[in-house]
Amino acid sequence: MPPAAVLPASRRLRNGLAGALAAAACNVALAQDAVRGAQLYLQLPGAASCVSCHGPDPSQGRNNLLRAADQPSALQRALGTVGVMGYLKPLLADADVADLAAYLGAVAAAASPAAPAVLWPVTIEFGGVALGAVSPVHTLSLRNVSGTSLALGAPQLAGVGAAGLLLDTDCAATLPAGAECRVRLRAQPAAAGPAAAAVVVTGITPRPWVVPLSYAGRSEPLGVLAVEPPDAVLDFGRTPVGASTVRSVRIVNRGTAEAALGVTALTGPGRDAFRFAAAQGAATPACGTGTLLAPGAACTATLSFASGAAGRFDAYLQWRGDATQPGGLLLAGEAEAAAPPAAPSATGAPAEAAPGDGGGAGCAAAPPARGQRLDPTLSVAAAIALLCLMSRGAVTRLSRRFHGAFTEPAYRPVASAVPGMPAALPFPSSRKDLPDEQAR
């Protein structure tokens, strides 16, 4: 058989480029609805959810999730090759896959270190909400981390479930550098069944930022979870770097049916500084995944704050489950560096002693610093005092001699090393060698 024809290099290059462009065009053509993709992330067809495997914060990229950002083909490959995802393949159309990839692309852009702002949490799940009732408030926080002001579009609700949601915000058209604003959300379903929507924030980057929301209208008896105390922020205050501060809150079931606690999640820019901790001395059991709370029952959620670096840290604690979920809890803590040691005096002179220092009733003098000269007057005075002490015994002896009979004192020979001098020189010994009449 004749050998297979070999295509010229230029033609192979053209074919390769054509294939790559076709694939790129396919990705771009289908990746058009990030808002719909956000809703699919929380509520897939067949009552499934991406949160089950990838968590409520897709920006963390659990299980290589962000490899599919703006890449529908990567997501299709995962559906075909990852065993636990295989059941989703017949449930998701190509348009669904493209929309999910578009949403993940928006998540990756917002999570980039180069992004001029941070927005958290990344998803919100209200759980089941009784028809006509209003859920607790869940809060989105937006902070400008760039050095300049940001022009913002008004945060808006979008998606098929937007009619069952309430939005309130203090975000203005301009967000100054370092400033923060919030979006408060509640669910108020008018129809039974699951629903999903999204909050869309424009102006931060050319690409809109999207936060998916989900809830379910319920007509049967329902557990309703709430945080006590009902403060919007759990503040850990100021904590030294390397130390730890612990705070606790109670979760109580105020509904008419038993409630099971679902998975908890910490999100936000400072989430790594917060940890779940063991409850100490709590009157109620610890809250954990799967904890069952009867109507009126409560459990205690305990968290600790610690950081190895100074600064302010913020995070958001949220729950998910079938009951009405408590409003997410904002966490705040500040780590302070230890105060530096006092700097020495510029002149090198010792600090002036305070009255009473050194136990001298205010009269104690500090020792001279190294290299500092003593006052010559003090030196002369010290020498005179020393001579006085040395001569005190001799003066006493002389005075006694004048008052009593003189007798030749005892002597102790002292060898002489001077030529021509006697071998022994008379030199008075100690007082104990004197005659008794002289010693008295």
Determine, yes or no, domain membership for 7. no
23: helix, coil or strand? Answer: helix
DSSP label at 24? H
Do 121 and 155 lie in one domain? The reply is yes
Tell me what the pLDDT averaged over the chain comes to. 80
Domain stop point among 338, 368, 397 = 338
Do 79 and 124 lie in one domain? The reply is no
Total domains in the chain come to 4
Do 38 and 59 lie in one domain? The reply is yes
Residue 305 sits at φ, ψ, to 5 deg, of: -125, 130
Q: What's the rounded mean pLDDT across residues 306-321?
A: 94
Contacts of 41 (CB under 8 A, 6+ apart): 49, 50, 51, 58, 100, 103, 123, 212
The string over 395-426, giving b where at least 16 C-beta atoms fall within 10 Å of a residue's C-beta and e elsewhere, is eeeeeeeeeeeeeeeeeeeeeeeeeeeeeeee
Q: What residues does 211 pair with on adjacent strands? A: 199
Do 214 and 287 lie in one domain? The reply is no
pTM: 0.70
* Residue 127 · residue 320 · CB < 8 Å: yes
Do 76 and 120 lie in one domain? The reply is no
Name which of 179-193, 282-296, 333-347, 356-370 the model is least confident about: 356-370
Band the pLDDT of 343: cuts 50, 70, 90: low
Determine, yes or no, domain membership for 389. no
Angle between helices 94-110 and 9-30 in degrees, nearest 10: 90
Give the integer Cα–Cα distance in Å for 38 and 51. 11
Q: Mind listing the pLDDT tens digit for each residue in 226-258? A: 999 876 789 999 999 999 999 999 999 999 999
Q: 430 pLDDT exceeds 90?
A: no
CATH number reported for the structural domain that contains residue 65 in this entry:
1.10.760
Name the residue type at position 345.
S
Q: 270 pLDDT exceeds 50?
A: yes
Do 164 and 176 lie in one domain? The reply is yes
Q: 397 pLDDT exceeds 90?
A: no
Q: What's the rounded mean pLDDT across residues 418-427?
A: 44
The string over 236-262, giving b where at least 16 C-beta atoms fall within 10 Å of a residue's C-beta and e elsewhere, is beebeeeeebebbbbbbbbbebebebb
Token pair, residue 18, equals: 């054509």
Do 226 and 315 lie in one domain? The reply is yes
Do 183 and 242 lie in one domain? The reply is no
Q: Mind listing the pLDDT tens digit for each residue in 47-106? A: 789 998 999 999 999 999 999 999 999 999 999 999 889 889 999 999 999 999 999 999
Give the integer Cα–Cα distance in Å for 440 and 433. 12
Q: 273 pLDDT exceeds 90?
A: yes
Containing structural domain, residue 277: 221-338
- In this prediction, residue 381 carries a pLDDT of 55
Distances, alpha carbon 360 to alpha carbons 289, 350, 355, 374, in Å: 66, 18, 8, 21
Give the integer Cα–Cα distance in Å for 316 and 57. 11
- In this prediction, residue 355 carries a pLDDT of 42
Token pair, residue 216, equals: 């379910």
